Amino acid sequence: MTFAGSRDRVESQLVPEAGFDLDTFSVSGFPRRVGVGLLRALFLAARAPFACLRILARRKPDVVLGGGGYVAGPMVLAARLRGIPAALTEADAHLGLANRLAVPFARRVFLGYEIPGRSGPKYRVVGRPIPRAHLGASAAAARKHFALPPDEPVLAIFGGLAGAQALNEFAVSTYAERGPAVLHIAGERDYDALCPRVTRANYVLVKSTDRFGEALAVADLALSRAGGTVWELAATGTPAILVPYPFATADHQALNARHFEAGGGAIAVREQDLARVPELVAELLGDPERLQAMSAAMRVLARPDAAHVIADELVELARAGSRAGAK
């Protein structure tokens, strides 16, 4: 298995660190405004399929999987031109622009959620693959690792890799001096500014962690954005207050949050309504039976086998492609 992507995106670091080969090509997303940036993006988009064709000629894969976003489109198109079966994944409750453009060239589209107008044999709702390392962590060991009290309710606050400024500011302003025990993963951007404001031992503020499974295990309740993390919250049965990023494309985080709210595992709160959250947190942490019911609902909504389902289907696509090529 090999990967392809952009040299200026996070995969250029993560893929080699994980021990896989990475082929890179130049491509960028389309700015929303007309200007030099859009012209440059169009120029790169026109060149990218040719670079992808060269990568495919060298690697000779049996199947191609596009992970969504503008990087995937040129590779899926190139796979179609070379007669290689290809599939797409969409983790959100809205099909992104790049995936909408690439759908005609894919034989299968794996969806995180049911999306109106996207049904039929090409589409399959599988959820989002999550790392196995994030499942099954011991709550007691995790609390010891993060130096959190073993027998008190813990609120975990997740804002994403870069950090969610509104959530970070809300968390520190509300809980830095008093409140429940907190594990707050702040992200890279805001961490240094937040640190001096935290004044109690059972508020644990970290920039990031490579032990996110244990971060999930400590939580009686999570306060989180509604991006990909929602699937990990569901798989671990973690009740959540979800605050969608208000500027996400097509408001897809709000759609994600509503899915888990409708299923009973989460409560969706708009960013402009963050003032509601302290009362909600107190209410939920004071009601273990309700948290237990939300946890059970999250597990019902979870799709922890998504990676296996996608892998099995990719093997079938590769076999079908081999049979077609042999005729």
Same domain, 280 and 140: yes
Same domain, 29 and 177: no
Same domain, 174 and 262: yes
Q: What is the pLDDT of residue 219?
A: 97
Same domain, 73 and 155: no
Which ranges of the chain have pLDDT less than 50? none
- Domain region containing 124: 3-128+305-326
The pTM of the whole model exceeds 0.85:
yes
Q: Helix 36-59 crosses helix 72-81 at what angle (to 10 degrees)?
A: 50
Number of domains observed in the structure of the chain: 2
Same domain, 92 and 62: yes
Report the 10 Å Cβ neighbour count for 262: 12
Structure tokens at 24: 């890179």
Same domain, 8 and 99: yes
Tens of pLDDT, residue by residue over 236-259, are 999 999 999 998 878 889 999 999
Same domain, 176 and 51: no
Q: What is the pLDDT of residue 160?
A: 66
Q: What is the pLDDT of residue 74?
A: 92
Same domain, 73 and 140: no
Question: Can you tell me the distance from the alpha carbon of 120 to that of 115, in angstroms, rounded to the nearest whole number?
Answer: 12
Q: What is the pLDDT of residue 323?
A: 61
Same domain, 79 and 227: no
CATH of residue 245: 3.40.50.2000
- Which residues have CB under 8 Å from 55's CB, separation 6+? 4, 23, 25, 75, 78
Per the CB < 8 A criterion, the answer to whether 85 and 63 are in contact is yes
Same domain, 194 and 49: no
Q: What angle do CA 104, 108, 112 make, to 5 degrees?
A: 110
Same domain, 151 and 292: yes
Same domain, 146 and 102: no
